[in-house]
Structure 1
Amino acid sequence: MAGIENLSARMAAQVAKLAGDNAFTQSPVPQVKLLYTTCHQPRQPVMYSPSIVIIFQGKKVGYLGRTTFSYDPHNYLLLTVPLPFECETFASPEQPLAGISIGVDTIMLQDLLIDIGDDVPSNHKTPASGITPSPLGDEILCATERLLDVMSKPLDGRVLGPQIVREILFYVLTSDNGGALHALVNRHTHFSQIAKSLRRIESQYSDNLSVELLANEVNMSVSAFHHNFKAVTSTSPLQYLKTYRLHKARMLMIHDGLNAGSAAISVGYESASQFSREFKRYFGLTPTDEVTRLRDNSATSSMR
């Protein structure tokens, strides 16, 4: 146990060095981002893309519907669909949060499944949700250590990193909870059909997408679509679409400098006042106040 804790501490120090003054940093390895902050962040809405989140130091607690889960140095988080939930981050200047996020590449996943062939573990469970906390095993931890090592040199990271990412994806795929990844690319599961609808929302969130249209595209009745959609996301299709638009608008205001009215139009709202009301109801602050808060937090977390 002490050996694992020492390894996690060393990897956290590597993340701190690589991340510099940024709380969320793109690494030299495609698909991989560094997570680092010295500030506690209270429970708040977040939106994650399909990814594997591995924490070396600190802790995050997620809330999805009535479910609460932790991802920390002992448990990684597997998300197989873009999913909004609430998250609290536990970090301090003395005990920063440090980790990485590895994007799930479906092409790499399909290629791995072809290589695995009929040797897919028989203990795979069909996932009920798009989010799965899982124990962090030695294989994943050791591969992640090598991934951080190659990141110290941009060329090594760019060339050698993707192979280590593939190795980590393999270990997750062949673990007890690997069924979540397998179901993602298996066209015959309800999970993959809902994932297809979520990709449609992700790429065309500003369009007038009806539940009937989304259900028809995956050959489901509206009632069956509602049932399966809520099983995967813990929310209804229309609520998910609204939430996705609000998250996207927030990103447009923070990173692209759009004002609330322009962001509202960009994500499909016809009424700026309706957008502001729904934004405040969901995030707890007006669009302007929320952008100010996030920028202040970013500035604070970089002062170390």
Structure 2
Amino acid sequence: MRYPNSSDPSERQRDEIEAIIARFASTHSGYDTPVPGLRVARISKPVPPTAHFDAAYLCVCVRGRRRVSAGETVILHDESHCVLTAIEVPTIIAIPDASPTRPYTALRIDLDLNLARQIMAEIDIQGPDAVPADACLAVVALDSDLLDGVTRLVKLLERPADIPFMSSLLHREILYRLLSGPGGARLRRIVRSGSQGHRVAKAVAWLRAHFHERLRIEQLAEKAGMGVSTLHRHFAELTGMSPLQYQKQLRLHEARRLMLANELEVGLAALAVGYESSTQFIREYRRLFGTPPMRDIKALREAGGNRATI
């Protein structure tokens, strides 16, 4: 506990969450928990830039910080805010300064967008949902109401008999806090986007399945049921990237995984994900991950591999 005498309710709640996660991590490996949609992490050494591909979720740094980048958006995520994404985007996450004496402690809550849509219909949230076109990650203030709901969800780790009944209620409350709070514009925008959002989701799913193929934007627009210019606009609004940028990041993430897990050589990894030029692959890989492929993979192996985090 870092603040045993703190009179600040939020710090007392953070202490409580941290202690629960520490006890859970001492007896469990990995990040999954018995609470549906809840993952927790307690990490005692820095984690190098690591490729992730996640659907809608909320991440809270209980103690420590992490660096998150997606497309052109870069966030240094600390304890005072949480990070929200509501559509699948490739991200790069690093934990720069965790240590045994100051471990990084965090939790991630999966978000059910169908449930979010139901809640919005029930409470009839009004008002503008203007969101910057590059806001593929939303930074949301961790206010007392949201933190309270998060704390009670984490407490279920030590109250297993309550999980079947209480977990769904608490997920609903957390969604309500996100949707109705001042930082909920990002989530409300995607939920309200209706058919356009659904069509963009179709484009995202197609790119995920066919990222190694040559991208023909007219074909993608046809599959999404949209015009080319409309697809570009809505795709950028929801992911912060163009379809081509999105495909490029999918390719580079997969190539990194192949080199690390399957020990593929650089040229073979480039070909496997759809690159025709190794030179172009190396240039774009370095631009995304900050270092050439061989040097990056060597550093990851020396650090213990491309460890996942939250």
TM-score by length of 2: 0.76
Identical positions, percent: 25
Who is 1:9 aligned against? Answer: 15
Q: Which one of the candidate residues 78, 100, 112 is aligned to 1:105?
A: 112
What amino acid maps onto 2:59 in structure 1? V
Q: Take 2:229 and 2:201, find their aligned partners in 1: how far apart are those partners?
A: 17
Deviation at 1:63, TM superposition (A): 4.7
Instruction: Report whether the alignment pairs 1:122 with 2:129.
Output: no
Counterpart contact for 1:125–1:176, Cα < 8 Å: no
Who is 2:187 aligned against? Answer: 181
What amino acid maps onto 2:249 in structure 1? T
TM-score by length of 1: 0.78
Deviation at 1:105, TM superposition (A): 2.3
Q: Take 1:70 and 1:193, find their aligned partners in 2: how far apart are those partners?
A: 31
Who is 2:241 aligned against? Answer: 235
Deviation at 1:120, TM superposition (A): 2.6
What amino acid maps onto 2:105 in structure 1? A
What amino acid maps onto 2:115 in structure 1? M
Q: Which one of the candidate residues 27, 31, 40 is aligned to 2:37?
A: 31
1:68-117: per-residue Cα shift (whole Å, max 9, x none)? 5443222111111222355553433232221111122233333434xx43
Who is 2:102 aligned against? Answer: 95
Q: Take 2:33 and 2:293, find their aligned partners in 1: how far apart are those partners?
A: 30
What amino acid maps onto 2:216 in structure 1? S
Counterpart contact for 2:71–2:245, Cα < 8 Å: no
Who is 1:172 aligned against? Answer: 178
Who is 2:79 aligned against? Answer: 73
1:254-296: per-residue Cα shift (whole Å, max 9, x none)? 5x64635776566455677865664345324455654453354
Who is 1:49 aligned against? Answer: 55
Q: Take 1:22 and 1:293, find their aligned partners in 2: how far apart are those partners?
A: 27
**Structural mapping, 1:240-259, within 5 Å:** 240-251=246-257, 254=260, 257=262, 259=264
Q: Take 2:105 and 2:13, find their aligned partners in 1: how far apart are those partners?
A: 13
Counterpart contact for 2:66–2:95, Cα < 8 Å: yes
Gap regions ≥5 residues in structure 2: 1-6
Deviates more, 1:99-108 or 1:151-160: 151-160
Q: Take 1:251 and 1:152, find their aligned partners in 2: how far apart are those partners?
A: 35
Deviation at 1:59, TM superposition (A): 1.7
Q: Take 2:280 and 2:286, find their aligned partners in 1: how far apart are those partners?
A: 10
Q: Which one of the candidate residues 294, 299, 305 is aligned to 1:293?
A: 299
Who is 2:227 aligned against? Answer: 221
Q: Which one of the candidate residues 9, 20, 24 is aligned to 1:18?
A: 24
SS in structure 2 opposite 1:25? Answer: coil
Deviation at 1:5, TM superposition (A): 1.4
Gap regions ≥5 residues in structure 1: none
Counterpart contact for 2:20–2:157, Cα < 8 Å: no
| Number of equivalences | 297
Deviation at 1:134, TM superposition (A): 0.9
Counterpart contact for 2:72–2:240, Cα < 8 Å: no
Q: Take 1:268 and 1:215, find their aligned partners in 2: how far apart are those partners?
A: 20
After superposition, the CA RMSD in angstroms is 3.6
